Chain A
Amino acid sequence: MKVVSVEEAVAMIPSGASVMVGGFMGVGTPERLLDELVRQNKAGLSLICNDAATPGKGVGKLFDATLVSKLTATHIGLNPKAQQQMLGNQISVDLVPQGTFVERIRAGGCGLGGVLTPTGVGTLVAEGKRQIEVDGKPFLLETAIRAQFALIHAFLADYLGNLSYALTARNFNPIMAMAADTVIVMAENIVPVGVIAPDHVVTPAPLVDYIIANG
């Protein structure tokens, strides 16, 4: 793990990169990294995030600045800008059921090719997917998702890079921290090693590549 400035961290992300961002309606999203993506004008991003948040908040800032070209998400209904950009074909959007979304990312981080889920059988979601029967029940084969970068929000990070999360800001963060080539973390608090007890570490240090320094 290496400590870098937020400018250095975002400079590593090229325009057009695939980026997964933790958070649920902007809660548990590393805001400083998103502000810096906008400042450095990283365009054409392939964004993987639960939702499009709202304008001005979380990944909503990326839609305000029209930096997204492709979005994989479960819900974008509360961001009118993302809706407009989708209906105007400025971004291509792949809408995925939320339980499937998280399991596909988990699979990507755990070395699995995908998962079998009953969710979506008999709906539009099943179109173009393989249906597989197990013990007489139908399941959809949903393939793994990975990204070049994961932008993670943690509540605590220690000097080694061990992470813990708070309340409903945990959401997709620990899952995404396993599913990207480069993992960049913004922590609310950076603390000495030992402050996070071993039983309370959720994301172990070897998974974390960079922590952004306090601004």
Chain B
Amino acid sequence: MDPQIIIARRVAKELREGNLVNLGIGIPTLVANYVPSELKVFFQSENGLIGTGPIPEQGMAHPLLTDAGGRPISALPGAATFDSAMSFGLIRGGHVDVTVLGGLQVDAHGLLANWMIPGKMVPGMGGAMDLVSGARRVIVAMQHAAKGKSKIVAKCTLPLTSARPVNLVVTDMAVIGFPDGKATLLETAPGISIGEVLAVTDAELVIPDAVPEMKI
């Protein structure tokens, strides 16, 4: 299975009935495709919408209805639109139950870096800092390693997104949580051994007695 789809399917299992959820750009966006249709979840787009719907059919896009990346979307029955102060009040004020973001690095204590590579990539943080500071649960959805280098590191070398640790990291190889503030291997991806995870993880990982395989 495509690594991105493994991640998206596993993250989708974290969403609960009635949750208000914000999905970031990239792998997180794919999560919406794997939410069971009977589960009622509200998706927020931080440019001012709760109730985002699928990409409209050819010729049906509305120029004033887009996602946070500026791409045309639709709105589901019962959707609500609002201004950016309300949108970030929802985010910062703890009203968003789950945010799913991409990551560049997550460290042994759950701190996330995902908004800049000094001297190379300085796009700006957009809404990421507010989402990590304010959402009730923060889930990072990212590849375990990039170009052979672990993205789970002892200490972030890139600028942090927030002083608040994330709750869960889902990669194509593992699910990692932070009970007691320490990176802990909670699950391995199908067909991946604990040893294979450790081989591409730079942070020290707590290994519990039982590490089940991801159910996707």
Interface residues of A (CB under 8 A from B): 24-28, 50-51, 53-54, 73-78, 83, 86-87, 95, 97-100, 102-103, 106, 117-125, 155, 165-175, 202
Contact = CB atoms under 8 A, between A and B. Distances in A.
B39 to A, nearest CB: 24
B110 to A, nearest CB: 13
Contact of B163 (A122, A169, A173, A202): A122
B126 to A, nearest CB: 4
Given A123-B162, A167-B81, A168-B81, A25 B70 contact: yes
A98 B48 contact: no
A39 B84 CA distance: 30
Interface in B126-155: 126-130, 133-134
A170 B48 contact: yes
A54 B83 CA distance: 22
Contacts of A99: 88, 91-92, 127, 129-130, 134
25 contacts: A27-B64, A28-B64, A74-B124, A95-B122, A97-B128, A99-B88, A99-B127, A102-B85, A102-B87, A118-B134, A119-B130, A121-B162, A122-B163, A123-B129, A123-B160, A125-B125, A165-B83, A166-B64, A168-B64, A168-B66, A168-B81, A171-B47, A174-B83, A175-B84, A202-B83
Given A78-B70, A117-B92, 12 more contacts: A27-B47, A74-B127, A75-B123, A78-B69, A97-B126, A98-B84, A98-B125, A99-B92, A124-B159, A155-B64, A168-B49, A171-B83
A169 B70 CA distance: 11
Contacts of B83: 165, 170-175, 202
Contacts of B45: 168
B92 A118 contact: yes
Interface of B: 45-49, 62-66, 68-70, 75, 81-85, 87-88, 91-92, 121-130, 133-134, 159-163
B129 A97 contact: yes
A171 B48 contact: yes
A97 B125 contact: yes
A98 B46 contact: yes
A119 B92 CA distance: 8
